[in-house]
Amino acid sequence: MFAAYRLRLILVVVCVAALAMLGTDRLVTRHFESALQEVNQSRFRFELDTLHAVLGRRMALGLPVSDDSSLRSRLSEVAEQTPEIIAIEIFDIEGIVMLSTDTSFEGDLVSLAWLDMVDRVRGSVATEEVWIVREGFVNTIGRPFRNSVGETVGSIVLTYRLDGKRTTLDGYRWTLVQDAGILLTVTLFLAGLVVFVALQPLAGSLAGMGERLKRLTATDRPTPNDGASDTPAGQTVRDVAFLATETAIIRALDRIGETAEQLRRMDRDE
């Protein structure tokens, strides 16, 4: 169906545009999620660096970590000020928690993933000492600290949740879906317009040709030029080979009619 093919062209355009938007959506959303993580990570990184500096000053003075009440209160103060922070912990080189905002963790062994990251940071030549472990929307950011002679003696870690950011991300995705819907509708409309403008003359021309061919087999068949220039379809028809075809059919029918008449005349003469 010609009309169906016009529709098919429009649908192809909308489908390709939808796929392109889907690809763009996946790409942008992934980068947006990453940017959201990075921006928040840099915020908590600042908090961690501040606490690390405090810890470093105490280590330089030779103060013990495990029963340092002022350090404990400082950690608690930071954790209370920032609701996203789940816990701040300080553990030794063996992975035993020395100080935590949640005192029930003290004395426990930290996760092997953390120790693995600490080992990696210690083994690398990079100046960047901060490591991060991501588990969905719960991130742990850590940094080793040294004693007064420069030996790594433990790490301070800050665990924070970004559950609230899930809403931000979902909201962003929903906005993109709405935008995609609007833009696909606009694309549909534009593609329809383009197809209509480009193919409508052809469709009119074809319809005109079909009508005239139908009349050829009727009793009141037209003469070669009958109505060709009277209608919009006729104007277009004149531009194509149709008139030559139509003329050939009419001439053939005329010739056949003349021949039949001559034969009849011969029969009558008999």
Partner 1 sequence: MTDYALGPGGRPSHVQEQNAALANHGRYRRLLAGLVICVLLGQLAFAWRAVEHAERVLAPEIAGKADAVAADLADRIERALALGIPIDRLVGMTPMLDDTVVRDQSIVFLGVLAPDGFPLYLAGRRILPQNLPIPSKLSDPNARFSFSNDGHALRLRPLHTAGRHAGYLVVGIPTSVAMDHLADVITTVPTIAIVAAIASVQVLLFVLLSGIRLPLARIQRAFTAVANGDFRWLIPISVGGDIGQLASAANRAVRHVNERYREVMLDAEETRHSRIDHDAPARVEAVLAPVRAEVTAAQPGGESVTQVRSASLIRLPLFLVMVAETAMLPVVPGVLAALAGTDVVAAPAALWLAVLISAILLAFVAGIPLAQYLCARGRSAAALWLGAGSAATGHIGTWLVGDPLLFMLARLLATTGTGLMAAAANTLIVHQDGSGARETSDGTHGGLGGATDTILAGLVCGPAIGGLVAGTLAATMLFPVAAGLALLSIGLLWTVRRHITDDSSGTIQDHHLATHHAPWPTGSPWSAATILAVQAAVFGVTAATLVLFAPIALAGRDDGGLAAGQTVMAFALTLLLLRQPRQRLRVRASGATWPLGLSLLGTVAAIMAIGIAPMWPGLLVAATLLGISLAAALALSPGSFPAPTSTPRMAERVTLSEWGRLLGVLGPIMFTALMPIASGPALALTATGAGLAVMGGALARVWPVGVPRAGIDSRHRRPPSP
User: Within 35-54, which residues bind partner 1 (CB under 8 A)?
Assistant: 35-36, 38-40, 42-43, 45-47, 49-50
Residue 120 interacting with partner 1 (CB under 8 A): no
Q: Which of residues 141-200 bind partner 1 (CB under 8 A)?
A: 168, 171-172, 175-176, 179-180, 183-184, 186-187, 190-191, 194-195, 197-199
- Write down the least CB distance from residue 133 to partner 1, Å: 18
Task: Look up tokens 């209608």; give the residue.
Answer: 231
Residue 206 interacting with partner 1 (CB under 8 A): yes
Residue 243, number of CB atoms within 10 A of its CB: 17
Measure the CA–CA gap between 214 and 206, rounded to whole angstroms.
Answer: 12
Measure the CA–CA gap between 110 and 92, rounded to whole angstroms.
Answer: 10
Residue 256 interacting with partner 1 (CB under 8 A): yes
Alpha-carbon dihedral 243, 249, 252, 255, rounded to 10 degrees: -70
Measure the CA–CA gap between 137 and 116, rounded to whole angstroms.
Answer: 21
Residue 13 interacting with partner 1 (CB under 8 A): yes
Residue 9, number of CB atoms within 10 A of its CB: 16
Residue 233, number of CB atoms within 10 A of its CB: 21
Q: Which is nearer to partner 1, 9 or 96 (CB)?
A: 9
- Write down the least CB distance from residue 103 to partner 1, Å: 24
Of the candidate residues 64, 83, 210, 232, the single one contacting partner 1 (CB under 8 A): 210
Of the candidate residues 5, 64, 113, 124, the single one contacting partner 1 (CB under 8 A): 5
Q: Which of residues 232-251 bind partner 1 (CB under 8 A)?
A: 238-245, 247-249, 251
Measure the CA–CA gap between 36 and 39, rounded to whole angstroms.
Answer: 5
